[in-house]
């Protein structure tokens, strides 16, 4: 096994150094390794894993051209699949860091789809039924070192390359960009519960940025397939998907959506999102400190809304005042009990 893999590695190096423009030579070298491993299933032997890792890393070191050309190599994804899930995550993370680091722009829905198919090990986490060690990730992608919102710092670091990649999804045409983002959403929405916020939040902000662009285009008289109203309605679905895993974060995202809707002149959308934020405040935010921070955010955002009618503003302001009065009463009640 090792001699065959070493030969494939040597041929891949030769292909990249002497025939960089001829990707078919690189493909043949990768095919040699993939075929040799086909009968073995998943590679577990340490030296073999190291050679396969080197083989998969070589195309990412290519100096010229777009690093995403690896998506066009049939054998590269096949070779990745021969590794254990942890090793797959390392390889895919390396690819995503190269994509973001080189300033790549993913403007084709098909490319976005292929890349996110490769991201499946990162999106799904470890599906092993074995009990996790202290601080390790559980089968559904969560960690026992999660904060009150279920978000773990270590997991956030692992998912950072995926989050950064979401910001490379772009297109000059707004309708085309909407299709690219939608292709990414289909994969992101299927992520494990503990990993869902880490991929949906950056995607949400891409949709909000697109909504602003679309609004400007509409004001200029453009006729678009995907309107600003459609985008602003869709981001609500994204926040709703985040709510179960991270209600405190979802509250803040609703406020962000309300601000964008307000800047786009969608008073009904802005009112709906702030109403949803107040609902989460009442039903999901439990800790006193979290309630105070959330109410401060809501109270600070409300005066900056310019599209509300007097009735809408008074309704939301009344809610903020009532919740604030309730929060102020609780410390007084505690002091009286102690006395």
Regarding pTM above 0.75, the answer is yes
Contact (Cβ atoms closer than 8 angstroms) between residue 307 and residue 232 = no
Give the 3-state secondary structure of residue 224: coil
pLDDT, one tens digit per residue, over 34-64 is 888 877 778 888 888 898 898 898 888 876 6
DSSP structure string for 46-84 = HHHHHHHHHHHHGGGG--SS-GGGGGG-SHHHHHHTTS-
Distance, in Å, from the CA atom of 175 to the CA atom of 173, rounded to the nearest integer, reads 6
Question: Minimal CA–CA distance to 79: which of 125, 17, 28, 151?
Answer: 28
pLDDT, one tens digit per residue, over 249-291 is 999 999 999 999 999 999 999 999 999 999 999 898 888 888 8
Structural tokens at position 335: 């002091």
pLDDT, one tens digit per residue, over 281-336 is 989 888 888 888 999 999 999 999 998 999 999 999 998 898 888 887 765 455 55
Name the band, by pLDDT with cuts 50, 70 and 90, for residue 197: very high
pLDDT > 60? residue 232: yes
Distance, in Å, from the CA atom of 213 to the CA atom of 145, rounded to the nearest integer, reads 39
Contact (Cβ atoms closer than 8 angstroms) between residue 34 and residue 77 = no
Distance, in Å, from the CA atom of 74 to the CA atom of 319, rounded to the nearest integer, reads 57
């Amino acid at each position: 096994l090792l001699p065959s893999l070493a030969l494939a590695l040597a041929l891949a190096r030769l292909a990249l150094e002497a025939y960089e423009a001829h990707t078919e030579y690189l493909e043949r070298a990768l095919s040699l390794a993939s075929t040799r491993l086909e009968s073995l299933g998943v590679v577990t032997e340490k030296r073999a894993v190291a050679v396969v890792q080197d083989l998969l890393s070589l195309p990412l070191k290519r100096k010229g051209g777009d690093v995403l050309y690896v998506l066009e190599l049939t054998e590269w994804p096949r070779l990745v699949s021969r590794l254990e899930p942890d090793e797959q995550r390392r390889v895919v993370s390396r690819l995503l860091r190269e994509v973001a680091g080189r300033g790549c722009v993913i403007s084709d829905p098909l490319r976005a789809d292929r890349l996110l198919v490769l991201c499946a090990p990162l999106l799904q986490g470890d599906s092993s039924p074995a009990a996790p060690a202290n601080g390790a990730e559980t089968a559904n992608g969560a960690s026992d070192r999660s904060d009150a919102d279920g978000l773990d710092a270590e997991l956030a670091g692992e998912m950072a390359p995926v989050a950064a990649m979401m910001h490379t999804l772009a297109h000059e045409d707004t309708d085309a960009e909407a299709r690219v983002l939608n292709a990414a959403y289909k994969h992101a929405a299927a992520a494990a519960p503990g990993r869902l916020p880490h991929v949906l939040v950056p995607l949400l902000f891409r949709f909000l940025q697109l909504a602003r662009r679309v609004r400007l285009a509409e004001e200029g008289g453009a006729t678009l397939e995907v309107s600003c109203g459609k985008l602003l309605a869709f981001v609500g679905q994204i926040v709703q998907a985040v709510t179960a895993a991270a209600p405190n974060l979802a509250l803040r995202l609703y406020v962000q959506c309300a601000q964008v809707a307000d800047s786009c002149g969608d008073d009904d959308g802005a009112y709906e999102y702030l109403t949803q934020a107040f609902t989460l405040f009442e039903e999901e935010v439990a800790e006193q400190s979290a309630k105070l921070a959330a109410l401060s955010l809501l109270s600070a955002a409300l005066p900056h809304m310019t599209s509300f009618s007097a009735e809408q503003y008074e309704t939301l302001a009344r809610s903020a005042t009532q919740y604030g009065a309730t929060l102020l009463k609780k410390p007084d009640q505690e002091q009286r009990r102690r006395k």
